[in-house]
Amino acid sequence: MPSPHTPLAVTAHTDADYGRLGLARRDIKPWEDGARTDGRPGGYEWWYFDAHLVDGTKMVVIFMTKDLSTPQVPLTPTIRINLDLPDGRSLQKIASFDAGTWRAATDHADVRIGENHFTGDLHTYRISASVDDLSVEIELVGEVSAWRPETGYMLFGADRQLEFCWLPSVPKGHVKAKLSVGTENHESTGSGYHDHNWGNVGIMAIINDWYWGRGQAGPYSAIASYITANKKYDYTPITVFMLAKDGNLIADDTSLVTFETLGSYTDSITKKPVANITRYTYVQGDERYVVTFSRHHDLVHSKMVDGLHGIKRVVAELTRFDGAYQRFTGEFRQSGLRDWPP
């Protein structure tokens, strides 16, 4: 039996963890961005991309083996595209495909769903996807090397058999994008990000809530997240923090990070409490870095049950499932010791 002080949610980080998983510290290999699950019931996986373009466009493209809330179902290849255009239009498209349309390499990122593809080698990626009248063609070239929080495996439960895994394959990169909406065509460049997630348990079964953000300020780039496990796991927090300067990692020891929220409010649609500001403070000796994300504009705020249909929706409503997803854009600020307080 675990001791009363054994945390029920941790990031695997010991030498034994690295050995068991076949991973090396600070040396990420292309196979880590390849398929890590086989699509059978019990697991899920997705490859995620987002970008902010200089013309004001914001976009998200996700290739998924199945809906992340239902890992128990068979392989259900799915593509999601969210597009926020400079003229104020917000488009959200999602489509599922036959299992036979799915192909995924294990030695590097090479995911195919029919004619759609998401391929790359930890540095250069090409993404092509179409849903209905919306299509995207994307090139992403990394400017910050692939990184992961320790092993990237977050483990839950006394036996630590439940896994949620995360690999930021491109923490920051340059994007060239071509978009088509019906007969409209757009081209732009900007800043983008790609990560890869997989696991063997539905996220809602292990996580109560989380904040996640990425941003750039001058030569600094950051990824930060604060994850709170479910009540069953004592609401144990897991912090993720990565700060790079001029493309080089300068801080990622989460034991040196404190997290705070400011200006909380209740969202009118999801009825969830949300912070207007999230702040991560990293202190090591005489060095202090403060990373602040300030919410300016809502891009998405939706109840997850609205995306379910048929028996799945009936079950969710009967069990009073109230999960929600919200995505924001805003200001990212980084300050160092000499700039303190921000």
pLDDT of residue 70: 77
pLDDT of residue 106: 98
Predicted confidence (pLDDT) at residue 184 exceeds the cutoff of 80: yes
Separation CA 201–CA 1 (nearest Å): 22
pLDDT of residue 314: 40
* 78 touches 89 (CB < 8 A): no
CB proximity list for 59: less than 8 A, separation 6 or greater:
50, 51, 53, 81, 82, 83, 84, 136, 177, 179
Separation CA 144–CA 4 (nearest Å): 40
Same fold, 1-201 and 205-342: yes
The mean pLDDT value for 98-103 works out to 97
CATH placement of domain 205-342: 2.40.370.10
Rounded to 5 degrees, what angle do the CA atoms 48, 49, 51 make? 155
Task: Give the tens place of pLDDT for each residue, 243-282.
Answer: 999 999 999 999 999 999 987 756 555 455 677 889 999 9
CB proximity list for 58: less than 8 A, separation 6 or greater:
50, 51, 52, 83, 84, 299, 329
Residue 64 is encoded by which pair of tokens?
């998924």
Place 341 in a pLDDT band, splitting at 50, 70 and 90: very low
For the chain, the domains span 1-201, 205-342
Place 322 in a pLDDT band, splitting at 50, 70 and 90: very low
- Average pLDDT of the residues of the chain: 86
* 75 touches 58 (CB < 8 A): no
pLDDT of residue 294: 86
Task: Please name the amino acid found at residue 251.
Answer: A
Query: Out of 18-27, 209-218, 260-269, 329-338, which region has the weakest mean confidence (pLDDT)?
Result: 329-338
Q: Give the residue from 176, 182, 58 showing the smallest Cα distance to 130.
A: 182
Place 315 in a pLDDT band, splitting at 50, 70 and 90: very low
The mean pLDDT value for 302-308 works out to 47
Burial class for 186, CB neighbours closer than 10 Å (0-12, 13-18, 19+)? middle
Find the helix or strand (DSSP H, E) in which 204 lies.
helix 203-206
Predicted confidence (pLDDT) at residue 299 exceeds the cutoff of 50: no
pLDDT of residue 108: 98
Residue 99 is encoded by which pair of tokens?
């299992």
Separation CA 104–CA 112 (nearest Å): 6
Predicted confidence (pLDDT) at residue 94 exceeds the cutoff of 90: yes
CB proximity list for 195: less than 8 A, separation 6 or greater:
48, 166, 167, 168, 169, 170
Q: Quick check: helix, strand or coil at residue 22?
A: coil
Q: What is the DSSP string of 237-264?
A: EEEEEEEEETTEEEE--GGGEEEEEEEE
Separation CA 293–CA 183 (nearest Å): 36
* 146 touches 170 (CB < 8 A): yes
Predicted confidence (pLDDT) at residue 193 exceeds the cutoff of 70: yes
At 15, give phi and psi (nearest 5°). -60, -40
Give pTM, 2 decimals: 0.85
2.40.370.10, 3.40.605.10, 3.40.190.80, 2.40.128.20: which CATH number matches 1-201? 2.40.370.10
